[in-house]
Structure 1
């Protein structure tokens, strides 16, 4: 990535004031029956997924959920029961339907004489003039504290978009660790579940998920570093199945056939969000490790036909973009899509540069069909970035890349040379961890890059690194 320093400013006092108004974060001391709090996800205009996990040793436990329009639950509008047990590691999900569009709801779970913390969620609107999205990714537990999630909760976004690396399969990131990861390396269902429990034990992560619905995709570390679908180098069917199962158990994602996670969310006629799966269907990477491959391998990455999405998902994306009536089209990608080249060859072949043919197909379709107001949201790099996606030398879309919540960005070799070779990347910052906030309106999207003074301690100071205004068309 590129390394242009950015001006900084202090975090607004408003964030701290709003934080005080939120429900208390659910920690283990709150109720040992609900040690991981509650969460919601995959909101639609009339439905949302609710999630929780309990501590129990019983073969089967019945849990009841309630949804209300007020925090005191005087106006309950939906309720039901869900069975859970060891087969799903005592996690529970409910797909609550029959809700009103664009409405804030409160929800809670109960069972065995216990009651969960109260969560807050909202359905997607049928029409909107404003919508706020927080964008996060890459949150290695041992690498740092999740202070960013405390700020995300205070920002009160309408939706949290998570672009992958929800967990990491390995326990340490370099020599130093901000906090211990006793699980070790996740390789089977038991250890992947334990890894999810560890990450969900963080009180700031719980607070964010308790306060705002999430729409999430995976990247590689939910399974294994740099894995490529069913490619031979990393393919271990039992490990893959275990990782996917644990993900669907612990993330409030709507269940679909064959672990499908690519899907879209319509925010009225204001925006449509297309979340993609860049791992499950991709061709094998041409080189490992991914950075600075030898020239022969880098040239292979440019070969025709190489696909990250697979034909079915690519067709779904292109059809959705061309038919969407929404003003803004957002594409959520686990990997950087902007070119990062040196002497015309990819710097990394694990990102979209390793599948250049398919990227060109997507950008060519956007250009040919004159699809306006396309913004790609990407994770994976642990670096903040903003720039242009170009087809035949002309910009056809923009990209916003978020840094990791906690995962560090190491030094990139030949940094000055890489920066000079990629002028379409207009801003980057690799020195801070944090998140991105999008304020979407009818005339523009305001993009705010928020970093933190440190994640090695739990109370890092929030810093506004840079803010951009993207006008429509």
Structure 2
């Protein structure tokens, strides 16, 4: 779903705000408070913004009771020029979450928003405000900075105050990025969070816990709770208040390596994977500031235009895939789907229509890294790679896409991904590939943001990936805790004047591990 919204100048925004009489808080709705904060509806898990374009963005908050979300926006931190927006309700049916599309914003402008909740039963009772901000996409060729990564609260590594909590989000926040691409595994619905984990050196990792994370998620309430658990972290809430999120999902939002062929382990009483996926999808869409498709409700894949230098194509490599298995088909069909025929056709159209300098394909799984469905026995296919040799199974879809990108003359595509819990940079070289009908391109891998560190995984030579950088713990040191320091994120900066893209892979201490600057191809 393309996001192309007309934008206002800052002067026009201010004129509109003044004309609506919104310079006072919520147009006069800020009624007297009760004496105790507990008597007023509260924002329970911070605020978030997301899917920001040149003239709009989505704001999210969750209440602690049935309430109305009140939002005002301004171009100054003082809220002198504030514009109040019509309230929307937060009800039990959505777990008291509410998200609002804010339109008619000036481009390339820092937008401050102030959110609070008003009691539904007593409209004169209004809670304390929480302030957030985001920057709208530019209409001009200015510098653009963004971060990406995935894999949060996995393998039992939850929020440990003694370790500083989810500190990778604090490291990313230091760069004051324009946006954050969350590459999936936003939660680990299949991963309980114990109170303590004994480390190899004898020390104890101590987690903040909640009752719902004592078991795998099966009910809608448990899926919702897994998302809310992450939002208990101070670093994440501070990050969310300042950096808009562009989010996609992968497997752990439901359960490990899920597809329609998933055989659930004994920990699950609910045996219907389709029902679990439906509950998980509902919780996912409730908990993030995503623009929702009116064409296909619940759709994750979408295009976000972020100015002349950047278009982002958010993929969904989970909802439309064929069953996990050997996936060695030589003829493309439903069994070999990874993103599926409809999404593939959409991606081709959007890439062809893009006029941005850089076309970032946000893929929740890597192309050339082998990810087994049955990791213990090294069997089956969970991702794209099928092993060395010509394109087969899910690789047929990627081969078709890469061939199209070359033949259509689409320039400057870059793939960003996570999933495998280590950092890497891959250069796909047709001269070294089994399938060669494509132009060279880069794939960058980051994560985990806060989960166990694994890898490295074997590589598949079908598309000729050259490993230019890798940092992984090694086969004898798997599932390292966040305290081991091997948590990774990626940082991209597009130079406004030259259009050059610099990609840097960093760890949670914000150490730059490796970097490359790419020149855009013109014409």
Please give the alpha-carbon distance, in whole angstroms, between the structure 1 residues aligned to 2:302 and 2:216: 30
Q: 1:137 maps to what in 2?
A: 150
Q: Residues 34-433 of structure 1 correspond to what in structure 2 (within 5 A)? A: 34-56=43-65, 60-110=66-116, 111=118, 112-140=125-153, 142-143=156-157, 145-169=165-189, 170-172=191-193, 178-182=206-210, 183=213, 184-228=215-259, 230-231=260-261, 233=263, 236-256=273-293, 257-286=296-325, 297=326, 300=328, 304-305=332-333, 306-338=336-368, 340=370, 349-354=381-386, 355-391=394-430, 392-393=435-436, 395-412=439-456, 424-431=466-473, 432-433=486-487
Shift of 1:196: 1.2
CA 1:412–1:43: 2 relative to 1, 3 Å: closer
Distance 1:53 1:221 in 2: 23
| Mapped partners of 2:398, 2:98: distance in 1 | 38
Cα distance change, pair 361–175 in 1 and its aligned pair in 2 (3 A)? farther
**What TM-score results when the alignment is normalised by the length of structure 1?**
0.81
- The question of whether the paired residues in 2 share the 8 Å contact of 1:218 and 1:334 is answered with yes
> 1:336: Cα distance to partner?
0.4
Q: In 2, distance between residues paired with 1:85 and 1:340?
A: 43
Q: 1:462 to 1:269 in 2, by over 3 A?
A: closer
**For 1:218, what is the secondary structure of its paired residue?**
coil
Root mean square deviation, CA, Å? 2.8
Q: Please give the secondary structure, in 2, of the residue aligned with 1:330.
A: strand
Report the CA distance between 1:395 and its aligned residue: 4.7
* Match of residue 481 from structure 2: none
8 Å Cα contact 1:33/1:54 also seen in 2:
yes
- Is the 1:70–1:105 contact (alpha carbons within 8 Å) kept by the matching residues of 2? yes
SS in 2 for 1:367: helix
1:77 Cα deviation after fit: 3.1
CA–CA separation in structure 2 for the residues paired with 1:371 and 1:66: 41
Q: Secondary structure at the match of 2:425?
A: strand
2:37 maps to 1:33:
no
Match of 2:64, SS? coil
Give the 3-state SS of the residue equivalent to 1:353 in structure 2. Answer: coil
Of 464, 483, 489, the residue aligned with 1:435 is 489
**Max Rg structure:** 2
Q: CA 1:130/1:348 → structure 2, altered by over 3 Å: closer, same or farther?
A: farther
Equivalent residues of 2:302, 2:314 under 8 A apart: yes
Alpha carbons 2:41, 2:127 under 8 Å: kept:
no
Deviations along 1:283-330, whole A, 9 cap, x unmatched?
Answer: 1111xxxxxxxxxx37x2666331111111000001111221111111
Gap runs ≥5 in structure 1: 1-27, 287-296, 453-460
Structure 2 unaligned spans of 5+: 1-36, 119-124, 159-164, 200-204, 265-271, 373-377, 387-393, 474-485
Higher relative contact order (CA 8 A, sep 6+): 1
Residue correspondences, number: 416
Distance 2:340 2:381 in 1: 17
Q: Confirm or deny: 8 A CA contact 2:422 2:488 kept in the other structure.
A: no
* Change in CA separation of 1:248 and 1:368 when aligned onto 2, cut-off 3 Å: same
Please list the CA deviations of residues 7-56 of structure 1 after superposition, one character each: whole Å capped at 9, or x if unmatched.
xxxxxxxxxxxxxxxxxxxxx99x98223111100112211100011212
Give the conservation status (yes or no) of the 8 Å contact 2:368–2:460. no
d(CA) in 1 for partners of 2:456, 2:178: 35
Distance 1:32 1:451 in 2: 38
Q: What secondary structure does 2:303 align onto?
A: strand
Mapped pair 1:463 → 2:511: yes
Alpha-carbon deviations, 1:264-293, whole Å to 9, x = none? 11122212110000000001111xxxxxxx
In structure 2, relative to structure 1, the CA distance for the partners of 1:62 and 1:205 (3 Å cut) is same
Matches of 2:128 and 2:105, distance apart in 1? 23
Q: TM-score if structure 2 supplies the norm length?
A: 0.74
* Structure 1 residue 363: Cα displacement: 1.0
In 2, Cα distance between the equivalents of 1:400 and 1:382? 12
